[in-house]
Structure 1
C-alpha cells in the first residue's frame, strides 16, 4: 500500500484533498475554523493535507508547559507525492518565534505518531519515510475586508 492509500485509510474524509480550481488547475484550501482560509493554487495532483490542529488535545494526557510547548501543534501538514512535508502555521497576528517553532515541532510529532501507526498496525515500514520537511508560518491573515471606492 502506498503512502497516499494509507493516509486515506487512516484519515478518511478528514484528509483534505486538492480540488479543481481556476483554469482547471488543482488547488488546496486550508480552512481554519470559521475565521479564515488560505488557498494554495497549482498544486501537484497527489497532494493532501492533514489538519494537525484536530489531533486530540494533549493537555488531557500530559502536564503541559508553555515553556516547553510539548502540547502545541501547527495547523496543517501538506503531504506531496514528491516526498515533501510542508508544516504550516496560520495566525491572525505575528507570534513569538519560539511559540511558532514549538507549534511546528508539535506537528512533526503528529507525523511521527502517524508513521508509527503505519509501521505497527499496517506493517508499512516505509510510511512517510524519507520526506523532506519544510516549515511555513503565515501571519496577519484574516484581516477585516473593507469596502473601497475606485476613482
Structure 2
C-alpha cells in the first residue's frame, strides 16, 4: 500500500490540512496555530500529498520533562510522493520572528513525530519500508502576521536537509511547493 494511503488511514482528518484547487493545481493555506490571523499559502502542491498539523497532537509533557525541548513540535509536516520524488517538509511558522534555538527544537520534535509514524506504519501496517526513502527538508516561515512585504529568503548553505540548515523565509508571499522542497 502506498505510504500516503497509510498516512491517510493513520491520521485523523481533523489533524490534516485540506488541499484546494487553484487553476488546475493544488494549494494549501497554513495558519499559525497560536495566531489565527497569521497565515501563508503554498501553491503548486502535488495531489499525492498529505499535510499534517503536528501541533494538533497533545504535547508529550506529561511523560517527558522537556528540559531539552523534546516536547516541542513544528506546526506542519508536508509528506509528498510525486513521480517517485518522495519528500517530507517540516514547517515552523512564526507571526513575527522566532528564536533560532527554539525553532530548531520544534523542527527536531516534528522529525521525531514522523519517526514515530514510521514505526507505527512498520509495525501496525506491516510495512517494513514505510517512509524509508524520503528526503527531509526544514523550513522556518516568519513574519506571517505582518502585512506582506517582499519575500526574503535566507539559506546559509546548500540543501536545507537538517534543522540547523533550515530554509528561512520572511514575509512570505506566493510560496511555491517546489521551492520549499528544494527541487
Q: TM-score normalised to the size of structure 2?
A: 0.72
- Give the match for residue 45 of structure 2: 43
Question: Structure 2: where are the runs of 5+ without partners?
Answer: 149-183
User: What is the deviation of 1:144?
Assistant: 5.8
User: What is the deviation of 1:117?
Assistant: 0.6
Q: Deviations over 1:8-50 (max 9, x none)?
A: 10114133242202x2221122233323222101122212211
Does residue 84 (structure 1) correspond to residue 77 (structure 2)? The answer is no
The structure having more radius of gyration, on CA atoms, is 1
- Give the match for residue 28 of structure 2: 28
Question: Structure 1: where are the runs of 5+ without partners?
Answer: 146-151
Among candidates 104, 107, 111, match of residue 104 of structure 1: 107
The runs of at least 4 consecutive aligned structure 1 residues that moved more than 6 Å come to none
- Give the match for residue 56 of structure 1: 58
In the alignment of these two chains, the number of paired residues is: 142
Distance in 2 between the 1:4 and 1:60 partners?
30
Distance in 2 between the 1:58 and 1:12 partners?
18
Does residue 113 (structure 1) correspond to residue 136 (structure 2)? The answer is no
- Give the match for residue 138 of structure 1: 141
Q: CA RMSD in A?
A: 1.5
Q: Deviations over 1:94-125 (max 9, x none)?
A: 12211111110000000000001111111011
Distance in 2 between the 1:27 and 1:128 partners?
23
